[in-house]
Amino acid sequence: MTLRENSSFVFYTEHYEKEAINFLRQHEPQEGYYLGFSGGKDSIVCLHLCKLAGVKYEAYFACTMIDPPEIYTFIHKEYPEVKWLYPKITFWDGIRKKGVPFRNKRWCCDVLKKDPSKHIPLKRRIIGIRAEESSRRASRPIIDKKGKQIIYKPIFEWMEWQVWEFIEKYDLPYPSLYDEGFGRIGCIICPFLTEKKKRVHKKRWPKIYEVFERVVTDWWTAKNDTRKFDKYPTAREFLDYWYSK
C-alpha cells in the first residue's frame, strides 16, 4: 500500500496542502509575490501551490553558474516561464577577490544567489524553506523578515515525504538527480557540503572541480607570504584542508 492509498496519510497531506494554499491567498500582495525557484523539489512544490492558489507571482531562478548542468536543462525544458538572474561576478572571480568560502566565512550565497535579485521590486518573497531541514531554519518564523524583504514559507511545516507525495499527486516533473541519489540540489561546489559529498560531486562533475582547483591554486600562489593558513603552505595542502571541512 502506498502512502496515497492510506486514507490517514491522504487526509494529512491534503490538510497541509489546503493550509498552504490559504496561507498564500491570505498574504497575497497586490503587486504579487517573488517566488525563488531553484529547480529543487521544494521550490517545485511552492510554484505549483501558487498555481493552485491562483495568486499573482513571478518566479526567478538565481543562476550561480556552478549549479548542476542537469538543472539548467531541466528548468529550460519544464519551467520555461521562470526568469533567470545572473550574478555580477562569477564564482571564480569571487575566489580571486574574496578568497575561498568556508562555512563560517562565506560570501558566495550573497553574491551569487541574493544580490542578483535586489533590483526586483517585489519585496514579499516565497521560499521553499522547511523546518525539518535544520534546527537553525526551524528556529525562524514562518513569516520572516530580511532587510526590506518579507519572506513567506508556505511549506515550512511539511515533512520531506509530504513534498514527494505532493509531487506524485500532481505528476510534477522533477530533476532526475534525485533518482540518482542526490538528496540536495544546489551548487556543485559549496562549503556546506560534507567531505563525502564534496568527493561525490567531484566525481560527478570533474571538469568544474578542475577549474575550482586551478583557480584556488592561482589565488594561493598570488597571495603574499603572510597567510592565514600557515599550516598549509602549498595550494594542494590547502585544497585538501578545504575538502576535509
- Same domain, yes or no: 133 and 165: yes
pTM of the model: 0.90
Residues 29 and 143 sit within 8 Å (Cβ to Cβ) = no
**Domain extent at residue 53:** 3-180
Nearest CA among 78, 85, 86, 1 for reference residue 35: 85
- Same domain, yes or no: 111 and 216: no
What does R_g of the chain's alpha carbons equal in angstroms?
A: 20
- Distance (Å, rounded) from C-alpha 200 to C-alpha 120? 35
- Distance (Å, rounded) from C-alpha 11 to C-alpha 22? 16
Checking if the pLDDT of 213 tops 60, the result is yes
Q: How confident is the model at residue 7 (pLDDT cuts 50, 70, 90)?
A: very low
- Same domain, yes or no: 226 and 121: no
Q: Quick check: is 74 in a domain?
A: yes
* C-alpha distance from residue 237 to each of 107, 153, 233 (Å): 22, 41, 7
- Asked which of 180, 204, 226 is the last residue of a domain, the reply is 180
- Same domain, yes or no: 11 and 69: yes
- Same domain, yes or no: 243 and 152: no
Higher per-residue pLDDT: 164 or 226: 164
- Same domain, yes or no: 36 and 122: yes
Q: Quick check: is 237 in a domain?
A: yes
- Same domain, yes or no: 175 and 202: no
- Same domain, yes or no: 140 and 226: no
Residues 146 and 110 sit within 8 Å (Cβ to Cβ) = no
What does the angle CA 127 – CA 130 – CA 132 come to, to the nearest 5 degrees?
A: 165
Residues above pLDDT 70, as percent of the chain: 92
Number of domains in the chain: 2
- Distance (Å, rounded) from C-alpha 40 to C-alpha 69? 13
Q: Which of 134-138, 154-158, 200-204, 223-227 has the lowest mean pLDDT?
A: 223-227
Residues 61 and 38 sit within 8 Å (Cβ to Cβ) = yes
- Same domain, yes or no: 114 and 165: yes
- Distance (Å, rounded) from C-alpha 89 to C-alpha 96? 11
- Distance (Å, rounded) from C-alpha 62 to C-alpha 37? 8
- Residue 29 has a pLDDT of 97
Query: Which cell is 147 given?
Result: 532587510
- Same domain, yes or no: 206 and 234: yes
Length of the chain: 245
Q: How confident is the model at residue 110 (pLDDT cuts 50, 70, 90)?
A: very high
Nearest CA among 26, 79, 21 for reference residue 51: 21
**CATH number, domain containing residue 115:** 3.40.50.620
Checking if the pLDDT of 3 tops 50, the result is no
- Same domain, yes or no: 175 and 234: no
pLDDT in tens, 34-73: 999 999 999 999 999 999 999 999 999 999 999 999 999 9
- Same domain, yes or no: 165 and 209: no
> For the residues 107-123, what does the mean pLDDT come to?
95
Sign of CA dihedral 162, 168, 173, 179: positive
